[in-house]
Amino acid sequence: MRAVAAITESNQKPFIRKMSAEDLLPIVAIERQATPSPWSAVQFEQSLEQHRCLVMAADNDTNLILGYAIVSTLLDQAEVLNICINPEYQGRGYGSRLLTDLLKQLPDSIEVVYLEVRVSNFRAIHLYHNLGFIEVGQRRDYYPTEFGREDAILMNLQRSTD
């Protein structure tokens, strides 16, 4: 009982807002903890100017960043360039919520959403399948790893027009 209570208490009610320059310091720190090939601060700064950048924060503590996502759009296509949940808060449905909101916020003109994911990233692949993404290809040896290279899976989501 005690363990369950501890997990419930540490769950945060999230809200999603636009990313700002003030968010970048904690985001870069989360990125370094969470991913094997972290984006640099400069990459995030460039994305702030060029892409749609969202932050999921805790509604009782807006400085607590639960996750973030970055998507580019061009004509009728979008690409999820980065999505990440703070490692302390992974596996609690926040990634699913963030990606669902991101997809809802895309303009109606977007017909297809692309993304790439490491073949070993089972949690992310499961999440993308849940939200309707399908595998459309692979890129061989696309990502660096500790031991060499690994393939990327290319996925896309066709948005319904109704």
Interface ranges with ligand COA (CB under 6 A): 34-35, 83-85, 90-96, 117, 121-124, 126-127, 130
C-beta of 55 vs 84, nearer to ligand COA: 84
Determine whether 94 is an active site residue.
Answer: no
Smallest distance, Å, CB 102 to ligand COA? 11
Smallest distance, Å, CB 133 to ligand COA? 11
Smallest distance, Å, CB 69 to ligand COA? 8
Determine whether 88 is an active site residue.
Answer: no
Structure token digits, residue 63: 């400085």
d(CA 49, CA 52): 9
C-beta of 88 vs 109, nearer to ligand COA: 88
C-beta of 103 vs 124, nearer to ligand COA: 124
Residues annotated catalytic, as ranges: 116, 128
